[in-house]
Amino acid sequence: NAGVMQNPRHLVRRRGQEARLRCSPMKGHSHVYWYRQLPEEGLKFMVYLQKENIIDESGMPKERFSAEFPKEGPSILRIQQVVRGDSAAYFCASTSGRDSGETQYFGPGTRLLVL
């Protein structure tokens, strides 16, 4: 299966801990997008990355959240000192980057629960 992979699928953290969410894009894709889905709030854009480069982080909170997409390995969304409000489903999507607006392919998501 060469689709977008995310792990873990479910993550439970206590307040103050760190959460690390991983996303491996579809084969041949080098552009990754992270979204957060909260109940009754739809899908909110967080950050757009290419390999070793953050293109757009306008949707990501300035504190506690960071994202990277290294030359080798998956993209990582990191949430430090988690709070209950961080509980949500986090989805990543990938594209090849060849065309603006091309279809984004989504992963299965990571459901984060903060106790």
Find the binder of other proteins among 20, 22, 108, 113 (CB under 8 A): 108
Per CB under 8 A, does 103 bind other proteins?
yes
- CB nearer other proteins, residue 58 or residue 72: 58
Positions in 61-100 near other proteins (CB under 8 A): 91, 93, 100
Find the binder of other proteins among 2, 12, 43, 83 (CB under 8 A): 43
- CB nearer other proteins, residue 17 or residue 106: 106
Find the binder of other proteins among 23, 24, 33, 88 (CB under 8 A): 33
3-state secondary structure the chain: CCCCEEECCEEEECCCCCEEEEEECCCCCCEEEEEEEECCCEEEEEEEEECCEEEECCCCCCCCEEEECCCCCCEEEEECCCCHHHCEEEEEEEECCCCCCCCCEECCCEEEEEC
- CB nearer other proteins, residue 72 or residue 99: 99
Q: Check the CA dihedral 14-11-107-48 and report its sign.
A: positive
Residues that bind other proteins (CB under 8 A): 4, 33, 35, 40-45, 48, 55-56, 58-59, 91, 93, 100-101, 103-109
